């Protein structure tokens, strides 16, 4: 159970280091450009220049989308941990309780557990009196509802992956319109005014694609993760429900001699 959790932490650590490396790469690129410039010309860092080029419309919009994507990723990482789906030690404790024929305690254990497995077992055990197939159907319906909820959250990552390039395209067209407006209206072209529109177009395109790339990755990653976790929960829940059903059909063990009322002594024959 600890192997998938360690893999997720490794992926998260890798993504964090990769993002940090990209940030420092852009920062150092801006510092290098500033050092190569003539001493009399002060050039601001590249990252700061690109952020300013986004403008007051596309800048906050792309920032809000980035924050939403990070929030979705963190939420799905927490929801899809193996400890949230199948708690450690729950299966062994539940199996031991069922083998001891403490069915009420086993039902309370599943009902008080907020994990995926606890919710699925609670739904299945509540229908176990009507047969094993009815219990399985109820459990699978609950699992499908859980899976649908996680898929709906993950679908927003796919929306962000599509929305990023579209916003970049809109920003590109808007920046080029600004540049051509300068060319069309000015009697003498100011290179700095012309460069503002071009830098705006390229910066919005860059940030839109930069948001889209991790969104595509996380959308595919969480899609596979949801399928894998739900399959594991389905298999374990089916095994536990089957075990509980067959244990409930077994006759209770007869009391051992000497544990209850003492047996009467055997009658003796007449003395000779």
CA distance 272 to 240: 65
The proportion of the chain whose per-residue pLDDT surpasses 90, expressed as a percent, equals 34
**139-150 pLDDT tens trace:** 999 999 999 999
Considering the domain boundaries, does residue 155 fall inside one? Answer: yes
Assigned token pair, 254: 């007869």
Considering the domain boundaries, does residue 258 fall inside one? Answer: no
Considering the domain boundaries, does residue 33 fall inside one? Answer: no
CA distance 251 to 173: 77
CA distance 44 to 156: 35
Considering the domain boundaries, does residue 63 fall inside one? Answer: yes
Residue 36 has pLDDT above 90, yes or no: no
In this structure, are residues 222 and 160 in contact, taking their beta carbons and an 8 Å threshold?
Answer: no
Considering the domain boundaries, does residue 136 fall inside one? Answer: yes
Domain count, the chain: 1
CA distance 66 to 73: 11
Considering the domain boundaries, does residue 257 fall inside one? Answer: no
DSSP string, 7-66: HHHHHHHHHHHHHHHHHHHHHHHHHHHHHHS-TT-----HHHHHHHHHHHHHHHHHHHHH
**73-111 pLDDT tens trace:** 999 999 998 888 898 888 999 999 888 888 889 899 999
| Domain boundaries, position 217 | 54-78+89-249
CA distance 122 to 107: 7
Considering the domain boundaries, does residue 267 fall inside one? Answer: no
pLDDT at 179: 80
CA distance 143 to 122: 11
**148-186 pLDDT tens trace:** 999 999 999 999 999 888 988 888 888 888 888 877 776
CA distance 262 to 77: 61
pLDDT at 261: 47
pLDDT at 269: 45
DSSP 171: H
CA distance 220 to 217: 5
pLDDT at 42: 60
Considering the domain boundaries, does residue 268 fall inside one? Answer: no
């Amino acid at each position: 159970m600890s192997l998938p959790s360690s893999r997720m932490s490794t992926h998260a650590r890798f993504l964090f280091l990769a993002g940090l490396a990209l940030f420092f790469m852009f920062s150092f690129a801006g510092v290098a450009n500033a050092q190569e410039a003539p001493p009399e010309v002060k050039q601001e860092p590249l990252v700061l220049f690109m952020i300013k080029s986004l403008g007051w419309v596309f800048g906050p919009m792309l920032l809000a989308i980035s924050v939403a994507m990070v929030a979705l990723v963190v939420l799905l990482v927490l929801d899809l941990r193996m400890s949230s789906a199948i708690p450690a030690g729950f299966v062994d404790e539940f199996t031991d309780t069922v083998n001891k024929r403490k069915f009420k305690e086993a039902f309370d254990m599943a009902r008080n557990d907020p994990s995926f497995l606890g919710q699925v077992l609670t739904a299945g055990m509540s229908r176990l009196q009507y047969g094993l197939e009815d219990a399985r159907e109820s459990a699978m319906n609950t699992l499908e509802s859980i899976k649908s909820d996680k898929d709906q959250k993950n679908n927003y990552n796919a929306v962000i992956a599509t929305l990023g390039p579209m916003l970049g395209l809109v920003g590109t067209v808007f920046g080029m319109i600004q540049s051509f407006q300068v060319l069309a209206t000015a009697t003498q072209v100011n290179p700095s005014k012309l460069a503002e529109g071009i830098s705006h177009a390229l910066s919005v395109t860059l940030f839109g694609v930069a948001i889209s790339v991790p969104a595509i990755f996380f959308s595919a990653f969480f899609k596979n993760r949801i399928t894998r976790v739900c399959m594991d929960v389905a298999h374990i829940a089916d095994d536990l429900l089957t075990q509980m059903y067959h244990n409930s059909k077994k006759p209770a063990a007869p009391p051992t001699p000497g544990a209850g009322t003492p047996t009467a002594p055997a009658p003796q024959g007449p003395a000779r």
